[in-house]
């Protein structure tokens, strides 16, 4: 299953399997889902259409989309036992730990007993992940036990209503569709590969998704939009941002939200979300954060030829919609669960346990010394 090379530590750049779900850095925009350019999907589709595409390998008809949405709406309510677990988690918990705990708990309450249940269990996860995030956040920060069922038409709209207590602005709901589409799938990234490794052992779906969330939690994979927000909100003008960035570069500090392990010239997702960030900035009358972000992009390209990845302009985008910074990465989970699950399905269809070899660099064979001879 996994190609091994002594010159490629970490499997970077190695072909580790086959997939029909996604291309990254290969053709067209550089990112496609089942042959569809992600930019066109973001322009023409709702997130639920793309979720259906990934889980069914086809875009839905109007009737199929309506029925899919109805099923998701009917599965939004959290079990009482899961609410009790979320209520015990402290407000200082990392939201990704909350998401991981929520999925793991659901795996105990609604266990996938056989693989024929995988689609139903995936729909349930897709429906409840926004509620897992928002129920914990509102309870731990505001003391409110919110209703986790709603008649909002979309997952993004449902998330925003639970978070704010009111129906989402139409522009905000559209931007959520775009954002969730852009994050839905990305080939054999670290969290997806984790899900496939877990699936290759014939483990259950909840274990695969829990492992993927744990992997996404790492700062070298998820969370770059949060780090980007923490950085750009410090600066009051583009000139201040440029001066600070130059200092960070001189000190060789890591600057989150730039470059990518696969893309070489640009991240196709950035072009899309940057445009929506600009629209939201105009809506809220922002004259600082968006210009600061643009200047950062210019400086990083001029100085290091590093481009913004999908995360950088997502930071200002989410901020303009009033989403707390600590909830940025959980939105990633709400979207990427579709890609993770689709990869689990694909792995199970033609499974072989993923068990790469390692290049041993330790001691040569040696005798075990007596206790008195050990020092």
Catalytic member of 311, 314, 319, 343? 311
**260 catalytic per annotation:** yes
Cα–Cα distance measured from residue 129 to residue 136, given in angstroms and rounded to the nearest whole number: 11
Which residue among the candidates 206, 260, 314, 319 is catalytic per the annotation? 260
Q: State the residue for tokens 């993004």.
A: 156
Annotation says 311 is catalytic: yes
- Is 239 marked active-site? no
- Indicate which residue of 37, 94, 147, 221 is catalytic: 221
Tell me the catalytic residues: 221, 260, 311
């Amino acid at each position: 299953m996994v190609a091994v090379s002594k010159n490629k530590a970490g499997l970077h750049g190695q072909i580790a399997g086959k997939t029909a779900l996604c291309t990254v850095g290969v053709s067209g925009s550089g990112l496609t889902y089942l042959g569809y350019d992600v930019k066109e999907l973001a322009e023409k589709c709702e997130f639920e259409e793309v979720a259906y595409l990934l889980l069914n390998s086809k875009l839905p008809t109007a009737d199929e989309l309506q029925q899919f949405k109805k099923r998701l709406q009917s599965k939004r309510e959290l079990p009482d036992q899961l609410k009790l677990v979320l209520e015990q988690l402290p407000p200082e918990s990392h939201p990704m730990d909350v998401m991981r705990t929520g999925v793991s708990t659901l795996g105990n309450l609604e266990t996938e007993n056989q693989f024929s249940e995988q689609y139903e269990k995936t729909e349930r996860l897709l429906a409840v992940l926004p509620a897992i995030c928002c129920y914990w956040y509102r309870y731990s920060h505001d003391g409110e036990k919110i209703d986790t069922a709603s008649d909002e038409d979309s997952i993004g709209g449902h998330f925003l209503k639970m978070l704010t207590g009111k129906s989402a602005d139409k522009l905000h709901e559209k931007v959520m569709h775009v954002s969730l589409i852009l994050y839905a799938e990305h080939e054999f990234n670290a969290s997806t590969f984790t899900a496939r490794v877990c699936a290759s052992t014939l483990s259950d779906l909840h274990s695969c998704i829990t492992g993927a969330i744990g992997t996404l939690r790492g700062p070298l994979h998820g969370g770059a939009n949060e780090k980007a927000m923490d950085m750009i909100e410090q600066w009051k003008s583009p000139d201040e941002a440029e001066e600070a960035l130059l200092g960070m570069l001189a000190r060789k500090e890591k600057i989150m939200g730039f470059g990518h392990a696969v893309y070489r010239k640009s991240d196709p997702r950035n072009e899309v979300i940057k445009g929506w960030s600009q629209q939201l900035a105009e809506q809220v009358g922002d004259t600082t954060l968006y210009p600061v972000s643009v200047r950062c992009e210019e400086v990083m390209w001029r100085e290091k030829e590093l481009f913004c990845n999908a995360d950088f302009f997502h930071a200002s985008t989410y901020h303009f919609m009033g989403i707390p910074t600590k909830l940025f990465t959980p939105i990633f989970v709400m979207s990427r669960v579709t890609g993770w699950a689709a990869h689990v399905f694909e792995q199970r269809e033609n499974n072989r346990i993923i068990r790469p070899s390692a290049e041993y660099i330790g001691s040569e064979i040696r005798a075990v010394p007596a206790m008195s001879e050990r020092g």
